[in-house]
Structure 1
């Protein structure tokens, strides 16, 4: 699969950094999935910080997507919505089930495992390297208007006409047989 953003409008890019993950590098084991039994996995979301969002940004959403999952539709690992525009940082482990480390007003949607939390990378053993897209979306609305039970795919549909900018880190994970 190519870039998952290839079929949606191009938008302004801005900067996404992390003290935990690096673009085009392997994910550290704490960001792999313990829930799905990946050795060393702890399901800890990485620290993320961003800057340079487009003028007119009223909120942010964060998504994590495995473009190479053998599902025909990829696999959504995390989605956070309604992050206020004055917030430009999520601490490590912001994706806990209780969401206690998220900014006021922000909340997590259920991922493809139907858990409203961060689930770490879990490529099937022997399937090869998977690409994990960690994305901050700058939006032109304060509230994207999706309910707490919405899917990340539905979020993407709702963001389609509201995305002003996008910041991306693509990290990799592979589980050997």
Structure 2
């Protein structure tokens, strides 16, 4: 792997692909470490990057009829190009984590909440894809944006200059 590759990693997850998502980042956690967003870091964004957007999905989920459906667990937009990661427990605490994160908004996930929603049974064994989009413009979405409803992916398609993916299993 080239050292200048745009890369998304987490100090809490084995970053060599398919690492296990620790229990406290799921709805199966305990105590104060329950369903908190994992720490993320990214390195070597493309030179034209002006902002980032993050979408986290369960890529192995199925609906009650057994049809594949990608459940969106977290949407984060308006991430400035100067930011190189999100701290553990960032979700729901944007105003408490520092001025550099002030512009960042959490969009609606498939549970219609603006928060990280970790996995729970019966999704054990599913793969979770953290996909970070490097964009060539500064995004200005509000917290009502979703992966599809307000067409986030359509809006950023022509402006994506790079993607970094981290996959973890539940």
User: Is 1:45 aligned to residue 37 of structure 2?
Assistant: yes
1:108: how far off? Answer: 0.3
Match of 2:6 in 1: 14
The partner residue of 2:165 within 158, 163, 168 is 168
What does the per-residue CA deviation read over 1:69-126, in whole Å, with 9 as the maximum and x for residues that have no partner?
Answer: 1134310000110111011111001112x433371211000100001011112251xx
Give the 3-state SS of the residue equivalent to 1:64 in structure 2: strand
> Aligned ranges for residues 73-112 of structure 1 at < 5 Å?
73-96=69-92, 98-100=93-95, 101=97, 103-112=101-110
The partner residue of 1:30 within 24, 38, 55 is 24
1:128: how far off? Answer: 5.3
Any stretches of 5+ residues in structure 1 without a counterpart? 1-11
- How many residue pairs end up in the alignment? 154
Q: 2: CA distance between counterparts of 1:108 and 1:53? A: 21
* TM-score computed with the length of structure 1 as normaliser: 0.79
Q: 2: CA distance between counterparts of 1:46 and 1:164? A: 25
Relative to 1, partners in 2 of residues 1:53 and 1:39: Cα closer, same or farther, differing over 3 Å? closer
Give the 3-state SS of the residue equivalent to 2:52 in structure 1: strand
Relative to 1, partners in 2 of residues 1:121 and 1:128: Cα closer, same or farther, differing over 3 Å? closer
Give the 3-state SS of the residue equivalent to 1:152 in structure 2: coil
Give the 3-state SS of the residue equivalent to 1:135 in structure 2: strand
Any stretches of 5+ residues in structure 2 without a counterpart? none
Match of 1:152 in 2: 147
Match of 1:5 in 2: none
Give the 3-state SS of the residue equivalent to 1:157 in structure 2: helix
Give the 3-state SS of the residue equivalent to 2:20 in structure 1: coil
Match of 1:114 in 2: 112
